[in-house]
Amino acid sequence: MSKVIGAHAVSVDGYITGRDPRAGRGLGDGTMLFDWYFDGDTPSRVFDGFRLSEPSARVFDALAARVGAVVAGRNTYEDSDGFGGGGPHPAARLFVLSHRPMPKMSERQTLVSTGIQDAIAAARAAAGGKDVGLMGGGVVTEALKAGLVDEVILHQVPILLGHGRPFFQPLPGHVRLRLVEAVPAPGVTHLRYEVER
Ligand SMILES: NC(=O)c1ccc[n+]([C@@H]2O[C@H](COP(=O)([O-])OP(=O)(O)OC[C@H]3O[C@@H](n4cnc5c(N)ncnc54)[C@H](OP(=O)(O)O)[C@@H]3O)[C@@H](O)[C@H]2O)c1
């Protein structure tokens, strides 16, 4: 069975964006959350133009190779300007979760408005046996509430951003995690947790 994974670049105080993210402004002001994508000398084998440190490239490409479809929340989709009609991953089909109709989407993108279970089921069916990646704090929270997340991955950047969209949102109860991998790298520490069930 393919897995459901949520991998995000996150500040130590738990933010996944800077101040005032929105369409046309991406992640907003003052973030250094993605500097590690471009600070190294090892090209990604999956993402054109990314040059990471050697340990980050190893972790990042291994994760990217696992993903066959992505479920993104509407905020992620809109703040990313609809991913230019494509998606956040070069080889993965995109499913966008929203309660509302979406005016315009490309044929490579699918709106799901019937909830997180349906979005993950549709993504899994399109993933060709690979894993489903989640994008957005709201979507990860919804999937955790539904008991559908297998792994939470933090690319933890050593900064206190002080503001932005939080990765961690209220849950009805605690969720136990088991650390399965911790890889320190220049400008980021990669922490991979399995969700205990
Ligand atoms: N740092 C990183 O690695 C990283 C990764 C991904 C995203 N981001 C950034 O994070 C920000 C978005 O995160 P976010 O937490 O604000 O939002 P999000 O998870 O992207 O989207 C939340 C929205 O998704 C829809 N939604 C959520 N659960 C739903 C459900 N069960 N049924 C139907 N619709 C549902 C709702 O939209 P409606 O109510 O409007 O329908 C909700 O407001 C963006 O700025 C993005 O660029 C950062």
| Digit-coded pLDDT (tens) for 150-197 | 999 999 999 999 999 999 899 999 999 999 999 999 999 999 999 998
Q: Is 137 in the pocket of ligand 1 (CB under 6 A)?
A: yes
Q: Is 98 in the pocket of ligand 1 (CB under 6 A)?
A: yes
Whether pLDDT at 6 is above 90: yes
- Tell me the residue type at 82: G
Whether pLDDT at 54 is above 90: yes
Q: How far apart are CA 127 and CA 5, in angstroms?
A: 13
Q: How many domains does the chain have?
A: 1
Residue 8: pLDDT band with limits 50, 70, 90: very high
Q: Best substitution site from 165, 167, 169 to test ligand 1's pocket, by max atoms within 8 Å of Cβ?
A: 165
Can you tell me which residue has the tokens 């939080």?
166
Closest-CA residue, ligand 1 atom 21, reads 73
**Phi and psi at residue 148, to the nearest 5°:** -105, 0
Helix (H, G, I), strand (E, B) or coil at 35: helix
pLDDT of residue 27: 86
Q: Kindly calculate the radius of gyration of the chain based on its CA atoms and give it in whole angstroms.
A: 16
C-alpha of residue 71 to centroid of ligand 1, in Å: 10
Q: Is 97 in the pocket of ligand 1 (CB under 6 A)?
A: yes
> What is the CATH classification number for the domain harbouring 142?
3.40.430.10
pLDDT of residue 103: 86
Q: Is 70 in the pocket of ligand 1 (CB under 6 A)?
A: no
Closest-CA residue, ligand 1 atom 36, reads 98
Q: How far apart are CA 142 and CA 123, in angstroms?
A: 15
Structural domain harbouring 42: 4-195
Q: How far apart are CA 176 and CA 31, in angstroms?
A: 29
Nearest ligand 1 atom to alpha carbon 31: 1
> Is the pTM of the predicted complex or chain greater than 0.95?
yes
Q: Is 16 in the pocket of ligand 1 (CB under 6 A)?
A: yes
Q: How far apart are CA 149 and CA 166, in angstroms?
A: 18
